[in-house]
A and B are shown apart, each in its own frame.
Chain A
Amino acid sequence: MNRYLRYLVPLAIFAILVAFLYRGLSLDPKRVPSPLVGKPMPAFSLPRLQDPEATLGDTDLKGKVSVLNIWATWCVSCRAEHEVLLQLAQTGAVDIYGLNYKDERDKAKQWLVQLGDPYVANAFDADGRAGIDWGVYGAPETFIMDKQGIVRHKHIGPLSVDALNTTILPLIAELQATP
């Protein structure tokens, strides 16, 4: 390489970095438009967390408004979100299903014992196969489906009490009201 040019390499790398950082300022890392919104939920059928013999699939979620929460014990934000899920479960507004994503069965079961269990049932997705169909980028993520099984909303990152009150609960109420 040219004797002078090579000393410009650090500067060039930095320039590329700045371009990304600048772009990053106008992006919200928490907001992702999901291509799934407005489409039927992906089909899946997985062993249940508590009972590997039984399965949980998309058919179980259809016919009613449902929430699918993707979580894992290795996910720090899931722990933060758990309290909010328990609150949502307590309102009785909706059935919450869990997709236990790339996790270990024993750890996940212990987690539910330790922190409380907001879920109606949990699917156990050990290798993340179903997660791919759902377009999971990282736990936690939460989907809301209407009675026809159409995905109506996707929440990325931990649910907050704020999001629950301003977005999730009103949407659920609206979906429950429509036939």
Chain B
Amino acid sequence: MIPELGNFALILALCLAVVLATVPMIGSLTNTPGWVALARPAALGQFTFLLISFGCLVNAFLTNDFSVLYVAQHGNTQLPTIYKVSAVWGAHEGSLLLWALILGTWTVAVSLFSRKLPAELLARVLSVMGMISIGFISFMLFTSNPFDRVFPVPLEGGDLNPLLQDFGLAIHPPMLYMGYVGLSVAFSFAIAALIGGKLDAAWARWSRPWTLIAWVFLTIGIALGSWWAYYELGWGGWWFWDPVENASFMPWLVATALIHSLAVTEKRGAFKRWTVLLALLAFSLSLLGTFLVRSGVLTSVHSFAADPERGLFILVFLCIVIGGSLMLYAWRAPDVTSGGKFDLFCRETLLLGNNVLLIVITAFILLGTLAPLIYDAMGWGKISVGFPWFTAMFVIFSPFLVVLMGMGPLARWKKQDPGALARQLRMGLLLSIAGGVLFALPLFHEGSIWIGLAVALSLWLLSSLVLSLRQRFKYRKGLASVLKDFGARGSGSYYGMIIAHLGVAIFIIGITYVTQFEVEQDIRMSPGQTVELAGHTFRFDGAKAVQGPNYRADQGTIRVFNSDGKEVAILSPEKRIYTVQTRPMTEAGIDPGLMRDIYVSLGETLGNGDWSLRLYYKPFVRWIWLGCILMGLGGLLAAVDRRYRMAALRKPAAAPGVPDRLATEGRG
């Protein structure tokens, strides 16, 4: 009965989505206040029914209702409760329901937190979100209904894929979807602005916090996925350039470009057409990712069950949403006035440079991801584009990005004398070159040109941040005045920028060190045997059988000693066999540290208590995720900036006459 209720609630949600997509939009175009006013209740109603529907599916998993096909496939009585809940989004149908629910949540959030918005604009924004919602809910109802029944009812469920039975992966999809779907807000704002023909600074100011929050979720979601891959897959990798990873990385890159471009549009009224295009692109790429993952056109380690019918449905949906929005763009954008004149060299152009670089990187990743498909379709044969290609692309372009990042926060809006900027950055440049050369030489460790480059880029970023802070505090004497600055309007986005850019500096060090100086050894070990690796002694103390809630495991014990003979860690890597799907899983033993991780995974048993083991020493690997966390934190800080809360309806930022004080303070 309850699953039928869920199904029914889903149908009602679809009906309300149709209402939301049509009535307020027509109302806003025909000036009918009654119709416009329907937007908010419809959004709330849609959300309520989606929540009920989702609750019903959760309930079906918790009560082991195997008469529901989806639960029978992915649930199990032995599954720990937390994974019964996360199993809801562990496969195609349920993850779509989560997608729809999150879209409903964002829609309600926009309707609640945008009370200051003109009613017509809000109605249009919510309407566009309703249109997207129609697509996803009907996709579910017509091709992938999670409430389909099965008869005869199986006695036991097929269990959740053991890879997904992990805390990191329980929260990774919701985070990522919050990011993907959150970009629909910026998209809807862009569409609404294009319809109304009012692409101004106010539009940018309204979109900005939403875009930032979506970007934060996306950042954290991707980082969680990478962290999960690192500790769960057992071979210590943290990024694979898999099509599905690329599908999340491309919207992130474009969203990163978007948050910077929105800043320019808000402050200077420039780049309007470019910004609006980025807003359309960011969400379009997250939809494209959905298509790639769920249609089976590309092979990937984590694609969902492929089905051409579903693929066709999403493709048609893509055509309507993306094609429609780009048509609207082509029709309306030529009439948008370009505001805010600026010189050839100023903060605007630096930000434009970073935008272009981000888009170029995105284009290359898109090309690499789709290359197998393009080759196949053109009859050129089959190719696979691998790790080295993507990495090379990324390494070629991103250093330029970082160079621009170092100059951006210090440059003035509108007009910047290149000589003056050069004088400001002189010390930073010297420092970064000196640091780079120092680390490229074999002094502290083996020489590596890449480490030199990474250190140089990081120091460049750091010194620019320090210079920017010094500039900001130049006229603020005393602690009280400095503290007061933290609470000032615009401080959130400024300090957010500082923290996020600091995150990038840390991230660069992390990825470079771990790729350059990671030490890895595969070895056969007998109990009691020791081995040396990267200045540490590893002693294997044998393995024993242990029993988990729904798996059996062999658990090894490895003691790690440092060069002084002091014990630094006892690691317990496991090799698990999950009883239902009988799939072996490795659970790595990790001793995490700020400067290095020691990582051990258990291979095969070789008889006589011997095991094959894989030992890793991974310097600075934590810095990768630390960097991501700082980026997320910075984004969050920027999103909650006081000025968004105080006066959403203040006059559009005066484009021509921005006081010089703002220019020198460098708000990002």
Contact = CB atoms under 8 A, between A and B. Distances in A.
A102 B199 CA distance: 53
A29 B295 CA distance: 11
B614 interface: yes
What does DSSP make chain B's interface, helix, strand, loop or mixed? Answer: helix
A76 B318 CA distance: 30
Contacts of A8: 330
B161 interface: no
Interface in B605-647: 612, 614
A167 B284 CA distance: 40
Interface string A70-89: 00001011011001000000
Interface in B110-130: none
Interface in B315-363: 315, 318-319, 322-323, 326-327, 329-330, 333-334
B308 A137 contact: no
B297 A137 contact: no
A14 B318 CA distance: 10
B12 interface: no
B107 to A, nearest CB: 25
B291 interface: yes
Nearest to A25: B311
Interface in A1-44: 3-4, 7-8, 10-11, 14-15, 17-18, 20-27, 29-30, 32
Contact of A20 (B373, B383, B614): B373
Interface stretch (A51-59, A60-68, A108-116, A142-150): A108-116
Given A7-B329, A24-B377, A138 B382 contact: yes
Given A20-B370, A25-B308, A137 B522 contact: no
Contacts of B327: 11
B298 A18 contact: no
A156 interface: yes
Q: Which of B326, B329, B383, B603 has the most CB of A within 10 A?
A: B326
A111 B520 CA distance: 12
Contact of B299 (A11, A30, A74, A113): A30
B301 interface: yes
A47 interface: no
Contacts of A7: 273, 329-330, 333-334
A25 B326 contact: no
B384 interface: yes
Given A11-B327, A14-B322, A114-B614, A76 B522 contact: no
Contact of A25 (B288, B297, B384): B297
Nearest to B281: A10
A35 B595 CA distance: 52
A11 B323 contact: yes
Contacts of B522: 110-111, 113-114
Category for how many chain A residues contact B: 35 or more
B382 A156 contact: yes
B291 A21 contact: yes
A26 B297 CA distance: 8
Contacts of A77: 301
A115 B603 contact: yes
Contacts of B291: 21
A10 B329 contact: yes
Contact of B376 (A11, A29, A80, A114): A29
Given A18-B323, A138-B382, A114 B330 contact: no
Given A113-B612, A114-B612, A32 B604 contact: no
Contacts of B301: 76-77, 80
B372 interface: yes
Contacts of A26: 308
A116 B322 contact: no
B387 interface: yes
Given A115-B603, A137-B382, A138-B384, A76 B240 contact: yes
B190 to A, nearest CB: 13
A21 B315 contact: yes
Contacts of A76: 240, 242, 301
A7 B338 CA distance: 14
Contacts of B322: 14
B198 interface: no
Contacts of A83: 584
A110 to B, nearest CB: 4
B524 interface: yes
Interface in B223-252: 235, 240, 242
Contact of B377 (A4, A10, A20, A137): A20
Nearest to B603: A114
Interface of B: 235, 240, 242, 273, 277, 280-281, 284, 288, 291, 295-299, 301, 308, 311-312, 315, 318-319, 322-323, 326-327, 329-330, 333-334, 370, 372-374, 376-377, 381-384, 386-387, 521-522, 524, 584, 603-604, 612, 614
23 contacts: A7-B330, A7-B333, A8-B330, A14-B326, A18-B315, A18-B319, A18-B323, A20-B374, A21-B318, A24-B297, A25-B308, A26-B308, A29-B298, A29-B299, A29-B376, A79-B235, A83-B584, A111-B522, A113-B524, A114-B522, A115-B603, A115-B604, A137-B382
Interface of A: 3-4, 7-8, 10-11, 14-15, 17-18, 20-27, 29-30, 32, 74, 76-77, 79-80, 83, 110-111, 113-116, 137-138, 156-157
The 9 A-B residue pairs whose C-beta atoms are closest, nearest first, are A138-B384, A24-B297, A110-B522, A23-B377, A11-B326, A137-B382, A7-B330, A24-B373, A114-B522
